[in-house]
Amino acid sequence: MINLETPRKFRAFVHQAHQVAAEMLRPNSRQYDLAEHEYPKELDMLAAMVDGLGASGTGSGAGASGVRRTEGDGDDGGKVKNGSNLSSVLSIMEMCWGDVGLLLSMPRQGLGNSAIASVASDEQLKRFEGVWAGMAITEPGCGSDSANIQTTARLDGDHYVINGEKIFVTAGGRCDAVVVWATLDKSLGRAAIKSFVVFKDTPGMTVERLEHKLGIRSSDTATIRFDNCRVPAANLLGSAEVDAEKGFAGVMQTFDNTRPLVAAMAVGCARASLELTRSLLSEAGVEVDYDRPVHLQPAAAASYLQMEADWEAAYLLTLQAAWMADNGKPNSLQASMAKAKAGRVGNDITLRCVELAGSIGYSEHELLEKWARDSKILDIFEGTQQIQQLIVARRLLGKTSAELK
């Protein structure tokens, strides 16, 4: 049975993550929001520290790279596991309490690393160890419908030749490699979609531009073009076999692991807004009283209590999705529920906190306006709000993607 308290073995690690957020990420948050596309050099030291903790065994899965599901998970005679999925979401919540964009800019902690951890073979895990990997899925004509990917990968000897364009690649200008989703055969539909690790110095791969964005400005977002880009066949993640029954499901397993991570980002960012807003309300003479009915409290306090309840629901759904992954339980439904709830709640809370704080919330005197801008992307990437609701509906109703569109 899931225990909703932070596991004892993770408490020191989560505390370390909070200290890093408080002493390194948040103090630099405004600087790199204003200096868009400038690389935060402070993150090199932080990445080295995270690597050191992992090598010494005192780290418990920091950032996106700590996520992996192995054969036999959940078959321990009923013994409950608190593993890398749970430790990752807990640490991400703390880090995004500091700054979402800076977390997304951390070397070797990209969403592509989670893709590698999710579906790579043991040999590939060892070969790609230490690589900072971005994730390249979205295309100009293909956003939420990942099954409609047009980028192609054609086998030519012991290489695949990749052609296509990817947009909105997080850390695409800074990472060492990108995990590219491409189709082996468009006529075979979603079953032919595979993911490839493509290193940045590969001929035919070009970073076309970096986007200017509403939020997470400290994280670069790139457009990448592939023009007859030759990638070793050994860099195809998982099996090259096209299986009409489960081919795409193997690739989509990545989302079952990364969606709780994005949910955790939203939970952390929203918590930062709630804490600061409560402090500002208190300074203004508005106290939140948990012993009085909501209708007997000031409107601002009543609004705050509603936001806090929504936040709690998102937090618990995120823990559930991660815990299920650690214990080998299918979590596609829960991962989408967590992403949908946390993404929407995170954006709603940060915007309402700006409203409650008035001119202070709208100005740059505090980080509330920045958190509101940052939170919007967390309701969009890794599957939009609408796509998550569609996935949840399919799971609950037992419908296929063809039956319920």
Taken in order of first residue, the domains within the chain and their CATH numbers are 8-126 (1.10.540.10), 131-235 (2.40.110.10), 247-397 (1.20.140.10)
Task: Check: CB of residue 165 under 8 Å from CB of residue 223.
Answer: yes
CB 269 within 8 A of CB 378: yes
pLDDT in tens, 97-139: 999 999 999 998 888 888 888 888 999 999 999 999 999 999 9
| pLDDT, position 25 | 96
Closest Cα partner for 265 from 222, 216, 333, 223? 216
The alpha carbon dihedral of 181, 183, 184, 188 has a sign of positive
The residues annotated with a catalytic role in the active site are 382
| CA distance linking residue 137 with residue 133, whole number of Å | 13
pLDDT above 70: residue 60: no
Is 68 a residue whose pLDDT tops 90? no
Convert the pLDDT of each residue in 1-57 to its tens digit. 677 788 899 999 899 999 999 999 999 999 999 999 999 999 998 888 777 666 555
pLDDT at 67 over 60: no
Lowest mean pLDDT among 54-58, 318-322, 329-333, 368-372: 54-58
Q: Phi, psi at residue 194, to the nearest 5°?
A: -130, 165
Tens of pLDDT, residue by residue over 184-234, are 999 888 889 999 999 999 999 999 999 999 999 999 999 999 999 999 999
Residue identified by tokens 């592939």 is: 226
pLDDT band at 79 (very low <50, low <70, confident <90, very high): confident
For β-strands 205-210 and 193-199, DSSP reports them as: unpaired
Q: pTM for the full model? A: 0.93
CB neighbour class for 117 (10 Å; exposed up to 12, middle 13-18, buried from 19): buried
* Structure-token pair, residue 87: 């430790």
Three-state DSSP class for residue 162: strand
Phi, psi at 315, each rounded to 5°: -60, -45
